[in-house]
Amino acid sequence: MPIGPSSLVDLDRYPINRLDTPDGMALVERLRNDLENKALAFLPGFLPPDVLERGIAEFAPLIPDAHRHDRMRRPWGWMDNRGFPDDHPRRAMHRTRGGMITRDMPPADNLWQPLFAWPDLTEFVRWVLGFETLHCSADPYLALEIHIEGEGDGFAWHYDTNDDFVSLLLQFPDEGGHFQYVPFLPNEDDEHFDEVARVFDGNSSRIEQLQIEPETFTLFRGRRSVHRVTTVGTTRQPRLIALFSYDRGPMMVFPERTHQAAIKPDNAPHYGTPAS
Ligand SMILES: O=C(O)CCC(=O)C(=O)O
Ligand SMILES: [Fe+2]
């Protein structure tokens, strides 16, 4: 039976389909403040628990077929990192390892497509992020991704290509797999590479580690704040997180080389653009 997207979200707690009511406005206001002050806004318990369980059950059989990567990469992977001394943070190389389920893999009647495609959810994200327009990406592979981090997997320190990162944590491992970040490092006026170097060396007191519970919907300024997922330790189940991709224009599709890097990862080191 088709599932209405409004039954996939706890709308009593998060009235995302009633943004013009006092409760809806208060929610948007709180999240905007959080984004402005902490670079990150959280909605714990976004999904009702039975929805989460059904959603995880849909992905579990796909995990063995996930696209796996294991590569070294620079934190500013989308920038030209030439012209810096070898010991500069822009030249750092860190290991990233994990799996990805892409949008084309789950069966068409899964729970996540209707949630992602629900216009009320897109409109809510748009309000919080303060954009005049916002559309779901139309990418056949990368509009909707599930990242999988099992034992030994982790996502190295980096900055995102996109301004804003929208995710839904589905499952948490027994050990490790923590989201760590430094809000607004670098800031707009000063890149603070000395502090970034301390972050990479593990000596910064500004690193925040968050205990994010499954069912938490998160909006994050990932281009402005260095972040990582720590290596997963011994665990009975992997970390699973769904990533939703949006764009200010309609029908956004990533370039073919981005598809290939995701669905046929060659594990070549990722130095930046252009590579060096
Ligand atoms: O899995 C996470 O919590 C963060 C992933 C991430 O930073 C990314 O995909 O860019
Ligand atoms: Fe990221």
Region 231-245: mean pLDDT is 97
Ligand 1: residues with CB < 6 A are: 147, 155, 160, 167, 179, 222, 227, 229, 241, 243
In this prediction, residue 2 carries a pLDDT of 54
Quote the CA–CA distance of 10 and 45 in Å, as a whole number: 7
Query: Is pLDDT at 1 greater than 50 in this prediction?
Result: no
Query: Is pLDDT at 182 greater than 90 in this prediction?
Result: yes
Q: What is the residue-wise DSSP string for 228-252?
A: EEPPP-S-SS-EEEEEE-EESSTT-
Mean pLDDT is lowest, of 101-110, 127-136, 138-147, for 101-110
Residues 6 or more apart whose Cβ sits within 8 Å of residue 81: 74, 90, 91, 271, 272, 276
Per the prediction, the chain carries an average pLDDT of: 93
Distance between terminal CA atoms of the chain?
A: 52
Mean pLDDT is lowest, of 98-102, 219-223, 270-274, for 270-274
Region 231-247: mean pLDDT is 96
Rounded to the nearest angstrom, the distance between the alpha carbon of 227 and the centre of ligand 2 is 6
3-state secondary structure of 164: coil
Task: From 241, 251, 240, select the one nearest 218 (Cα to Cα).
Answer: 241
**Share of residues in the chain with pLDDT > 70 (%):** 99
Rounded to the nearest angstrom, the distance between the alpha carbon of 265 and the centre of ligand 2 is 18
Rounded to the nearest angstrom, the distance between the alpha carbon of 22 and the centre of ligand 2 is 33
**Which atom of ligand 1 sits closest to the CA of residue 169?**
3
Query: Is pLDDT at 111 greater than 90 in this prediction?
Result: no
For residue 27, give Cα distances in angstroms to 21, 42, 203. 10, 11, 36
Closest Cα to atom 8, ligand 1: which residue? 160
Per residue in 183-197, pLDDT (tens digit) is 999 877 778 999 999
E strand map for 112-210: 135-136, 144-149, 155-158, 165-171, 179-181, 208-210
Q: Looking at per-residue confidence, does 255 or 106 come out higher?
A: 255
Region 27-34: mean pLDDT is 98
**Share of residues in the chain with pLDDT > 90 (%):** 79
In this prediction, residue 3 carries a pLDDT of 64
Closest Cα to atom 3, ligand 1: which residue? 179
Pocket-testing residue among 67, 94, 147, 180, ligand 1, by greatest number of atoms within 8 A of Cβ: 147
Q: Tell me the domains of the chain and their CATH numbers.
A: 5-263 (2.60.120.620)
Query: Is pLDDT at 108 greater than 80 in this prediction?
Result: no
Per residue in 124-137, pLDDT (tens digit) is 999 999 999 999 99
